[in-house]
Amino acid sequence: MTVAEGADRVCLAPMTDSPHSERSPDWHWSNYWQQGLLTTFSMGKFQAGYDGPVAVFWHSVFDPLPEDAALVDLATGNGAIPLLAVRRARELGRRWRIIGIDYADIRLPQSGEDIERVRQDMAEVRLIPRTPMEATGLDDGSVDLVTSHFGLEYGDLDQALAEIARILARPGRLALIMHHPDSAVVRQARHDFQVTRWCLEEERFDRKVAELARITASASTPEQRRRLKYNPEAERWRRQVNRSIDRLTRRLQGQDPTQMLKITQTFLSIFSELKDHSREDKLRFIADFSEAMSAYGARMESMARATLDEQQFTDFLAMLERQGFGAVKSEIIRYDNGDLIGRTVTASLD
């Protein structure tokens, strides 16, 4: 995969020296949730919500709740767990007070399967954005159940558990699904973060394509494009782009190249697909894609960093007991095919 000589290709608007500078700590998650997605999986099995063993676990957590119980989901994203709770309550003939809290700028889901039903169900949920799990603002003893799905580990665990203990009624319960370092999701997160960093920060692939595009964008006829191969500046940047691809390919030998191909091919494909568009349109497309990939890389980095290793997880269970939680129980949760999803944790305060 290389840049053909004389091709009329497009570019990327320049980025700041650090793609993460002057941004709030949650910028990458706000960027994601503002797309109106329901779960952290924008594609694949869980994009429309959680089912299978995950839904079975959460149903087992919800089912003991009595009529008019209060449930709070921390790091809720756009409310996938509250949505499960709403639907389970309806199946059981009960009504619960359901709140979702997230530090990011969350919003109701905007697309996906059965979106109208999702919106109707979510009308029963109170979503609270831009609120840390360590300081929810909820009243003491006002909640019967606190949940979090792939979320609690992103906060300050000591402070978050203290806040959970404060808002839980007695008796009250806590239920979690947490990332596991050996799960396919976390392994993929580590890999994709690294590859994204190589492409955008080390190779500066987007900027190289941008420089090439600035030279080639004015070539609109076959003859003008043919002459580009005699343009020394165009040739210099074309070589730079191709060398980056070669280095990335060698670096990923024996590893999954999917993320690298997604990044490089998307940048390069617009040379042909957008060749008849204005220079401004091309630059805008690249700028948007660069921002999306920077945000994706940051989300994958935060997931990898937040995941507790075995010792950290053992310490977390001890932390629960120090905060007064009893009946602490942890299990591995897997897909039906045996693949690892994560860890479940349940505990209670009496």
**In this predicted structure, what is the pLDDT of residue 25?**
52
Q: What is the pLDDT of residues 18-48, one digit of tens each?
A: 333 345 555 555 655 455 555 554 443 334 4
pLDDT above 70 as % of the chain: 84
CATH code linked to domain 34-178+308-349: 3.40.50.150
Residue 224's φ and ψ, nearest 5 degrees, are -65, -35
| Number of neighbouring beta carbons within 10 Å of residue 82 | 25
d(CA 146, CA 296): 28
* Strand order across the 70-74 sheet: 125-128, 97-101, 70-74, 143-149, 168-178, 340-349, 326-334
pLDDT value at 1 more than 80 = no
Alpha helices in the chain, H assignment, sequence order: 27-33, 52-62, 80-92, 115-122, 157-167, 184-197, 205-216, 222-227, 232-251, 258-273, 279-306, 310-322
The domain segmentation of the chain, as residue ranges, is 34-178+308-349, 186-304
73 with 101: CB under 8 angstroms?
Answer: yes
Instruction: Work out the mean pLDDT of the chain and round it to a whole number.
Output: 85
- Alpha carbons 244 and 233: distance in angstroms, whole number: 17
Residues 293-325: pLDDT tens digits? 999 999 999 999 999 999 999 999 999 999 999
Residues sharing a CB contact under 8 Å with residue 35, sequence separation 6 or more, in sequence order: 42, 110
Contact criterion met (CB below 8 Å) for 301 and 31: no
CA 23 to chain centroid, in Å, comes to 17
Q: Decide: residue 78, CB within 10 A, 0-12 exposed, 13-18 middle, 19+ buried.
A: buried
Taking the whole predicted model, whether its pTM rises above 0.85 is answered as no
Q: Is the pLDDT of residue 58 over 50?
A: yes
